[in-house]
Amino acid sequence: MKFQIPIGPQHPALKEPIGLRITVEGEIIRDADLRLGYNHRGLEKLAEQKTWIQNIYLAERICGICSHSHTTCYVQGVEKLMELEPPKRGLYIRTLVAELERVHSHLLWLGVAGHEAGFDSFFMYTWRDREIVMDILETITGNRVHYGINTIGGVRRDLDEMQVKHILDSLEILRKRSEYYRNLGTTEPSFVARLAGVGYLSPEDAVALCAVGPTLRASGIARDVRKDDPYAVYEEVPFEVCTADTCDVLGRAVVRIKELFQSYNIIEYLLKNLPAGPIAVRAPRRAKPNEVVSRYEAPRGENIHYIKSNGTDKPERLKVRAPTLANYAATIKMLKNGFIADVPLIFAAIDPCICCAERAVSVVDARSGEEKIIPMNTLKQLSQKISYGKEKKRVAEWPL
């Protein structure tokens, strides 16, 4: 006997609107299906109406947690189109903010994982310490969440001695606290028992389903854009790619805690080796007709922006492939043959950022259940073909 359970779009276990349709046999999940589009805003189309500089502001608002990831990815691409070379100090500051963002995102995730596992004091602890990172970000960029520090050709704000000292002092506190979380997360019996073995994803599946970021690395595959295709100043910075081989939610937690320590080391290195000089170069208003793909390792995984220019001061096309979208296929795999009670935990383990991922429009034929993705102009033709010559119906047919 199979049942279908709809979860979402507004559901206690989910922080953002997304629909999950789960087919269960008793307690066991046999099949899962995702319903997207609740958060779709039409951002890519909007980007075509704005200038290169205005689009930085827009790219930042693709997502609030990885806002710096999207702007950096976008700005890197545009710099390639405009053939600009940002100064070293600018790149150092850009990388510094990127790593601080990774720290805040991973602390946030640890808290959410603790919350989903029923360990609410862990949630409160990590979010308390996350405020330290938010304070750092606020002092160096002027805002807590949308930093607005990137500009085409460099960054907008410089660091001074006081800020460097403030960051280094705060890092000491964060290191100490993270050490505590590492011990707690890996030795606390009830926490480990809740996470271990949940949401298994084998290394073969992880590669086949194109998982990215900590989800992939927790399956024992050391892939990281920062190492494989270094951007900004990652070539000069010593760090390791963290992996775990347990292939479950515990592994994903361990990878993220390990990455916290790597990020602290990177931040310290960047601050101690900060070169002097200008922070930005002047950017032209137009870019030559060309196209570029820009990659960036966001806290959740690989972020890809495809940008096409046509010689004007606006992009012809901006395509965003956010890491969460790449992880959806793997999530379905992880959910299968698990328990209903594990759904929030498994789903939270990919660190879903739904607002990032809401790009494609898919059309579902509710009568046959057939689902396909149709390009916009085909959709237009289709609607014209259907409505042509017919009188307009006022009342919709049920079920639609």
Partner 1 sequence: MLNKLVHWSRLKSPWILHLNTGACNACDIEVVAALTPRFDVERFGILLKATPRHADVIICTGPATRQMKDRLIRIYEQTPDPKFVIAVGACAMSGCVYRGAYNVIGGIDQVIPVDVYVPGCPVRPDAVIDGVVKLLNKLKG
Nearer to partner 1, 119 or 123 (CB): 123
What is the footprint of partner 1 within residues 264-293 (CB under 8 A)?
Answer: none
40 binds partner 1 (CB under 8 A): yes
Q: Which of 73, 334, 353, 357 binds partner 1 (CB under 8 A)?
A: 353
What is the footprint of partner 1 within residues 56-115 (CB under 8 A)?
Answer: 57-58, 61-65, 67, 108, 111
Cβ 163 to partner 1 shortest distance, Å: 20
Cβ 65 to partner 1 shortest distance, Å: 5
180 binds partner 1 (CB under 8 A): no
16 binds partner 1 (CB under 8 A): yes
SS (H, E, C) the chain: CCEEEEECCCCCCCCCCCEEEEEEECCEEEEEEEECCCCCCCHHHHHCCCCHHHHHHHHHCCCCCCHHHHHHHHHHHHHHHCCCCCCHHHHHHHHHHHHHHHHHHHHHHHHHHHHHCCCHHHHHHHHHHHHHHHHHHHHHHCCCCCCCCEECCEECCCCCHHHHHHHHHHHHHHHHHHHHHHHHHHHCHHHHHHHCCCCCCCHHHHHHCCCCHHHHHCCCCCCCHHHHCCCCCCCCCCCCCCCCCCCCHHHHHHHHHHHHHHHHHHHHHHHHCCCCCCCECCCCCCCCCEEEEEEEEECCEEEEEEEEECCCCCEEEEEEECHHHHHHHHHHHHHCCCEHHHHHHHHHHCCCCHHHHCCCCCEEECCCCEEECCCHHHHHHHHHHHHCCCCCCCCCCCCC
Cβ 124 to partner 1 shortest distance, Å: 6
Nearer to partner 1, 135 or 268 (CB): 135
131 binds partner 1 (CB under 8 A): yes
Q: Which of 6, 28, 128, 168 binds partner 1 (CB under 8 A)?
A: 128
Q: Which of 216, 237, 307, 355 binds partner 1 (CB under 8 A)?
A: 355
43 binds partner 1 (CB under 8 A): yes
Within 8 A by CB and 6+ apart from 131, the residues are none
Cβ 142 to partner 1 shortest distance, Å: 12
Which of these ranges, 78-86, 129-137, 211-219, 327-335, lies near partner 1 under the rule CB under 8 A?
129-137
Q: Which of 12, 238, 389, 399 binds partner 1 (CB under 8 A)?
A: 12
49 binds partner 1 (CB under 8 A): yes
124 binds partner 1 (CB under 8 A): yes
118 binds partner 1 (CB under 8 A): no
Nearer to partner 1, 65 or 287 (CB): 65
Residues of this chain that bind partner 1 (CB under 8 A): 9-12, 15-17, 37-43, 45-46, 49, 57-58, 61-65, 67, 108, 111, 123-124, 127-128, 130-131, 134, 144-146, 353-356
